[in-house]
A = this chain, B = another copy of it.
Amino acid sequence: MLSKSQIKLITSLKQKKYRLQHGLFVVEGVKTIKELLHSSLILHKLYTTETFNIDAKDEILISEPDLNRISFLKSPNKALAVFNIPEAKKIDESNLILALDDVRDPGNLGTIIRLCDWFGIKDLVCSKETVDCFNPKVIQATMGSITRVNITYIELSSFLKENHCTKYGAFMDGENVYQSSLLEKGVLIMGNEANGISQEIESIINERVSIPRFGNIRATESLNVATATAVLLSEFKRR
């Protein structure tokens, strides 16, 4: 049975303001919840239609209509869990770091977090305007990768100015990345979906890189930020 205050708390977590205020976020679906239960994340409360056989004080069995009331999904998948937002760890500057300058689309951020996990990027650094990684749509798109990538929201220009590694930026008119010398250590910066990297950040960048276009040069569209990130991380890691 769900109390009114539980429903109010859970539904409030759709909004970043309340996620920050309570230090909590929502995860849905049996598979992802199980993966997160096996991570270092701390469970606040699990609301489920079937028992997970975990500590009884953490688990609340609810009916399907109750799950429908609290779920953020059109087709809820058996369970909804509330986890504590973990504290970001110190950024490890001895590896390649990925930085996002105002990426706004939750699906893109989710895909990029999965890519970090795949390509062994331990630290993802996000500008304050980048979409919140505990946004339910981001969590849904990460498929559990969020537990394996350290994500830090930070004043991006200050962070980059204080970091003494090479700063690589993805641009439409940069050097052909296939011919660039890419170091193992550094920061790769990807820009906003519509506007790319901001002027302030651009002035701090040492190396401008581009993925060459092999198709019709008349066409002006750029690659989506998530697919461009896939290609660039692959280039850094394959060497």
Residues of A participating in the B interface, judged by any CB pair closer than 8 Å: 107, 111, 114-121, 143-145, 148, 178, 211-216, 219, 221, 223-224, 226-228, 230-231, 234-235, 237-238
Interfacial chain B residues near A216, Cβ < 8 Å? 117, 120, 148
Instruction: Looking at the assembled complex, report how far the CB atom of A224 sits from the nearest CB atom of chain B, in whole angstroms.
Output: 6
Q: Is the CB of B235 within 8 A of A234?
A: yes
Q: Are A234 and B211 in contact (CB under 8 A)?
A: yes
Find the B residue at minimum CB distance from A112: B227
| Bound CA span A214–B145, Å | 13
Distance A234 CA – B236 CA, assembled complex (angstroms): 13
Q: Which of B118, B213, B214, B235 contacts A213 (CB 8 A)?
A: B118
Alpha-carbon distance A82/B158, docked complex (angstroms): 49
- Interface pair A114/B221, CB less than 8 Å apart: yes
What separation, in Å, do the CA atoms of A225 and B223 have in the docked complex? 16
Q: How far is the CB of A173 from chain B (nearest CB, A)?
A: 15
What CA separation (Å) do A56 and B111 show in the bound complex? 44
Contact present for A117 and B235 (CB under 8 Å) = no
Which residues on the B side are within 8 Å of A119 (C-beta)? 214-215
| Closest Cβ–Cβ distance, residue A104 to chain B (whole Å) | 16
Contact A223 B178 (CB under 8 A): no
B111 touches A215 (CB 8 A): no
Q: 21 A–B contact pairs at CB < 8 A? A: A107-B107, A114-B221, A114-B223, A117-B216, A118-B214, A118-B215, A118-B221, A119-B215, A120-B214, A120-B215, A120-B216, A144-B221, A145-B219, A148-B219, A226-B226, A227-B227, A227-B230, A228-B230, A230-B230, A230-B231, A234-B234
